[in-house]
Amino acid sequence: MEDKDLMENHLCLVKGICDLYLHGMIESSTAEVHKQFQNALNEELNIQNKLYNLMKERNWYQTDEADMSKISIAKQKFNQN
């Protein structure tokens, strides 16, 4: 397996873990449990960010530039609500 594939798999796994921790925070019944999920989520988000940056440096993760007109339309739409 190539390094790129390993990093893509790891990034996907970390994103899934973040999703689980977020749901754990939302469903927490006590402040202490909520805080523990929040701490774990923050750690995973830091890992996700490092992976993303490494992949972007190596041109393994491509992103598209946002169209400013679409951003303006979205802002207007959400400001109306």
HSE-up of 9 (CA within 13 Å, CB side)?
Answer: 6
Q: What is the tens place of the pLDDT at every residue in 1-17?
A: 799 999 999 999 999 99
What does the domain layout of the chain look like in residue ranges? 3-80
Q: What is the tens place of the pLDDT at every residue in 14-66?
A: 999 999 999 999 999 999 999 999 999 999 999 999 999 999 999 998 888 88
DSSP class of 64: P
| Distance, CA of 57 to CA of 75 (rounded, Å) | 30
Give the predicted TM-score (pTM) of the model: 0.76
